Structure 1
Amino acid sequence: MPSLGELIAPRRLGRDFRWLLASSWTSNLGDGIALSAAPLLIASMTSSPLLVAAGAMMQFLPWLLFGLLAGAVADHHDRRRLVMLANGIRAVIVLGLVAFLVTGTANVWIVLATAFLYGTAEVFADSAGSTLLPMLVRPADLGIGNARMQAGYLVGNQLAGPPLGAFLFALGSFWPFLLQVLCVSLAVLLISRIARTPVPPHDAESPRSKSRAIREGLGWLRRNPPVRTLVIIILVFNVTWAAPWSVLVLYATEHLGMGAVGYGALTTASALGGIIAITSFGWLEKHVSFATLMRVCLSLEVVMHVAFALTTSGIVAFVIMFGFGAYAFVWGTISTTVRQRLVPMELQGRIASVNMVGVFGGLVIGQLLGGIIAQTWGLTAPWWFAFAGSAITLALVWRPISNIAAAKPVLDADEAEQASREDEPGAGGLPLID
């Protein structure tokens, strides 16, 4: 019977993957602690809805401002060291906030500035971090590798971190952020244990401006229909998803009459569904094609929107949210895996950053639309908007999904030779140097 460690991180993925996974899980726990503690801190300093909302905005604004630049930087520097540097800066930034809190000199503007600086460093950490997995494991193992990374996000960021952050905040405003500093610092130490430094398979030191590098990435994306379509799908579905989610707290408390506790339980139900799905991903990957899974996930998204629009039962809402968590994290794992398999190693950072800019751009547009629609037509109207938009999009991409799932990366001569070596027994990963 395999050990727990073997189930979580199979030995075939290698020791370096285990260090990467441990670093990611630890960092996600720190982010999950701040996920609840940061809004509580801002709310304790101001009653202004605008300032409270500004705190949430700091989560995605840096991606819109610096996402493309971060991708270009990730593709032309040592990616592991870049992750370590960016996470180290994150730890220093939060440590500065702790000092302000301990001395009683913190105010809402300092907190907002901290959130923006932390989010900016996170953009560079995540852009570089997203490129490491494809450099450490075989393409065939990207699915299970991404599933394990997603599991850490679910447990640390969505389940364990937020309640721990709220509990520590009740003990003292600085405690959750001090623990966050420790988590991020430990993540730096863990990723430093990767025995060999992944290097992009091209001359990373060739002189070129960052703007030219960004244009190069966008040009490749424009010429690659499968990845381009995948990015567009993610953008559009984030618009439709964010519209009702922007007023979810009002929908849950006023329309469903669930109260604050019930609203919090909805997000927990989503995380629990995600855990069930992620732990089953290995079986799903072996028995169901990616094209079928992608169609099922997007179809369930359409059904979820109309179900929320029609129900008035909190119990039904819990069931829907559980199902949402299950298919959403399966979709996230598949879309990431497909993108990583198709994008050349030297472009991984730039294409991943374009994808994230699309994610957060969709969130901004969707949240704005959701607020306007709910204000004008009521709390269920954003769900109907999301249903119509996602249904039309699904109809348009139903056939292209087969091409996305079946697409193969275009390899040059050196990459083709390397791919043939990877298929040999005992081979693994891309070339690594000490």
Structure 2
Amino acid sequence: MTLFFTNKNYRLLFSASAVSNLGDGVSALALPWLASLITRDPMLIATVAFATRLPWFLCSIPAGVITDRYDRKHLMVGADILRMILTAGLVVCALTIPQPAPAGAAFAAILIVSGLAFLLGLAEVVRDNAAQTVLPSVVAKSDLERANGQLWSIEQIMGAFIGPPLAGFMIAWAVPAPFVLDTLSFALAAGMVLFIAIPPRPVVIRRSVWREAVEGMVWIRSHRVILQLALMLGVMNALGMLVVTILVLYSQEVLGLSVIQHGLLLIAGAAGGVVGGLICPKIAAVLGRRSALHCALVVWAVSNALLALVPSVLIVALALFLEMFAALLWNVVTVSYRQRIIPDALLGRVNSIYRFFGWGLLPFGALASGAIVVMAEPDLGRALALRMPLVIAAVGSFAILLYGLVWLQIDEE
């Protein structure tokens, strides 16, 4: 943690990330749980997840142009303030929408929650892209792996280790409570980012959004490895959303967990992220980029197989630990690699295009998860139908593993 104590700007960025991710972790459990209190319909619950992730498909590329055009610090502050306001809207929803809602009112209630979730996702796209592109301006290139590892660790500690169980206790006390905390966390994060001193960037000659976006597309197309990593990530994230979307119902109806127990279960994934953030930079240094990514794919495939095959709380906890560890290893290698080789003037646009491919399939994975359960339930019954998205995710993860072992090539220097 030397960087934290010696680099004031990194300390502020790190602290803002910790606070905002605490809020994110609280809402990550609270939002789908609120949806499950309103309705038990898998498609309606999947609609909330779809709305949350849809901005990554629709707005990633324009967000990259915006990130390269405007002050990245101000974009982060503005996005956090907008998220604060929108989360206050969720407080109102939690206070006023019946739980469960009558059959005729559930659809309208979910639409309102989904609309707020979409706008929150839109602000997240801009904020996250600006935050990732600002890091190379805050730390030296030689510290990127270490800084990314620490940031991923604190994100996991706050967003997955502390946030979800805290949300579980808060929902058990009062359903609106976690959204109140989320609102305050965004306000505090915005204040911290405001005090970061970032070196001025060269004046950018503004042209049409399309022309600037095309420059990023041309760059990423000419760098095959970056494009390959983005496409692989897209499939991996879509498969991951099959699991994440249905987990809130799987946890309640198959594992028999309460909201507090579900929050505690998610700690296992957070632990994998914390451990991964601490040791994955060293693993990448010892194994090299290519072998480290292969290792991440193997661990990820095994975790999905465990989730699909064994409906046990302990095995699910182990699988979530391994899944998040693999994600951290993948991200430490690939994010640092991008930050090193992408020119600063193009960093926002290329990162946004990368995320368009890598995150754009998230909303469709969410919808597919709900649809799979709805289609499978008449023949398989509710319990087996809830497991089908996990089975499909497991099969897909082994297909990605095979592809990566054979075709993934990445420079070691």
Determine if the TM-score, normalized by the shorter chain, exceeds 0.5: yes
Tell me, yes or no, if structure 1 residue 112 matches structure 2 residue 95.
no
- Give the structure with the higher percent helix: 2
Q: CA-to-partner distance for each residue in 1:35-87, whole Å, 9 max, x for gaps?
A: 23333444455565544333222210122221111111001111111111121
Matching residue within 191, 194, 199 for 2:193: 191
Residue 317 of structure 2 is matched in structure 1 by 318
Q: Quote the offset at 1:231 in angstroms.
A: 0.6
Q: Quote the offset at 1:221 in angstroms.
A: 0.9
The residue correspondences of 1:295-314 to structure 2 (distance < 5 A) are 295-311=294-310, 313-314=312-313
Q: CA-to-partner distance for each residue in 1:372-391, whole Å, 9 max, x for gaps?
A: 55644755655554444333
Residue 105 of structure 2 is matched in structure 1 by none
**Between 82-91 and 107-116, the greater mean CA deviation after superposition:** 107-116
Tell me, yes or no, if structure 1 residue 291 matches structure 2 residue 290.
yes
Q: Is the 8 A contact 1:72 1:349 kept in 2?
A: yes
Identify if the C-alpha distance between structure 1 residues 384 and 110 changes in structure 2 by more than 3 Å, giving closer, same or farther: closer
Residue 15 of structure 1 is matched in structure 2 by 8
Tell me, yes or no, if structure 1 residue 404 matches structure 2 residue 413.
no
Inter-partner Cα distance in structure 2 for 1:132 and 1:41 = 34
Q: Is the 8 A contact 1:338 1:405 kept in 2?
A: no
What SS is found at the alignment partner of 1:259?
coil
What SS is found at the alignment partner of 2:361?
helix
Aligned residue identity for 1:223? S
Q: CA-to-partner distance for each residue in 1:358-411, whole Å, 9 max, x for gaps?
A: 33333334345555556447556555544443333333333554x42426xxxx
Inter-partner Cα distance in structure 2 for 1:245 and 1:105 = 24
Matching residue within 19, 23, 28 for 1:30: 23
Identify if the C-alpha distance between structure 1 residues 193 and 39 changes in structure 2 by more than 3 Å, giving closer, same or farther: same
Inter-partner Cα distance in structure 2 for 1:112 and 1:381 = 25
Q: CA-to-partner distance for each residue in 1:329-366, whole Å, 9 max, x for gaps?
A: 22122221112112111122122222322333333343
Identify if the C-alpha distance between structure 1 residues 349 and 280 changes in structure 2 by more than 3 Å, giving closer, same or farther: same
Q: Is the 8 A contact 1:23 1:191 kept in 2?
A: yes
Q: CA-to-partner distance for each residue in 1:15-45, whole Å, 9 max, x for gaps?
A: 2111111111111111222223333444455
The residue correspondences of 1:354-433 to structure 2 (distance < 5 A) are 354-370=353-369, 375-376=375-376, 379=385, 382-398=389-405, 400-401=407-408, 403-406=409-412
Residue 67 of structure 1 is matched in structure 2 by 60
Aligned residue identity for 1:280? I
Tell me, yes or no, if structure 1 residue 152 matches structure 2 residue 170.
no
Residue 122 of structure 1 is matched in structure 2 by 124
The residue correspondences of 1:175-254 to structure 2 (distance < 5 A) are 175-199=177-201, 202-204=202-204, 206-248=205-247
Aligned alpha-carbon RMSD (Å) = 3.0
Q: Is the 8 A contact 1:80 1:198 kept in 2?
A: no
Inter-partner Cα distance in structure 1 for 2:40 and 2:372 = 25
Q: Is the 8 A contact 1:136 1:198 kept in 2?
A: no
Residue 327 of structure 2 is matched in structure 1 by 328
- TM-score, length-normalised on structure 1? 0.80
Identify if the C-alpha distance between structure 1 residues 131 and 57 changes in structure 2 by more than 3 Å, giving closer, same or farther: same
**Between 129-138 and 239-248, the greater mean CA deviation after superposition:** 239-248
Q: CA-to-partner distance for each residue in 1:400-433, whole Å, 9 max, x for gaps?
A: 54x42426xxxxxxxxxxxxxxxxxxxxxxxxxx
Residue 134 of structure 2 is matched in structure 1 by 132
Q: Is the 8 A contact 1:33 1:180 kept in 2?
A: yes
Q: Is the 8 A contact 1:135 1:198 kept in 2?
A: no
In structure 1, stretches of 5+ residues that fail to align are: 408-434
Q: Quote the offset at 1:222 in angstroms.
A: 0.9
Q: Percent identity?
A: 29
Residue 58 of structure 1 is matched in structure 2 by 51
Q: Quote the offset at 1:101 in angstroms.
A: 6.5
- TM-score, length-normalised on structure 2? 0.83
Q: Quote the offset at 1:173 in angstroms.
A: 4.2
Inter-partner Cα distance in structure 2 for 1:274 and 1:169 = 24
Q: Is the 8 A contact 1:32 1:161 kept in 2?
A: yes
Q: Quote the offset at 1:317 in angstroms.
A: 3.5
Q: Is the 8 A contact 2:270 2:321 kept in 1?
A: yes
What SS is found at the alignment partner of 1:9?
helix
Q: Quote the offset at 1:210 in angstroms.
A: 1.0
Identify if the C-alpha distance between structure 1 residues 42 and 399 changes in structure 2 by more than 3 Å, giving closer, same or farther: closer
Residue 340 of structure 1 is matched in structure 2 by 339
**Between 15-24 and 51-60, the greater mean CA deviation after superposition:** 51-60
Inter-partner Cα distance in structure 1 for 2:165 and 2:183 = 17
Identify if the C-alpha distance between structure 1 residues 172 and 364 changes in structure 2 by more than 3 Å, giving closer, same or farther: closer
Inter-partner Cα distance in structure 2 for 1:270 and 1:291 = 24
Inter-partner Cα distance in structure 2 for 1:372 and 1:42 = 16
Q: Is the 8 A contact 1:90 1:184 kept in 2?
A: yes
Q: Is the 8 A contact 1:132 1:198 kept in 2?
A: no
Q: Quote the offset at 1:186 in angstroms.
A: 1.0
Inter-partner Cα distance in structure 2 for 1:197 and 1:94 = 32
Q: Is the 8 A contact 2:80 2:187 kept in 1?
A: yes
- Number of positions where the alignment pairs a residue of Structure 1 with one of Structure 2: 393
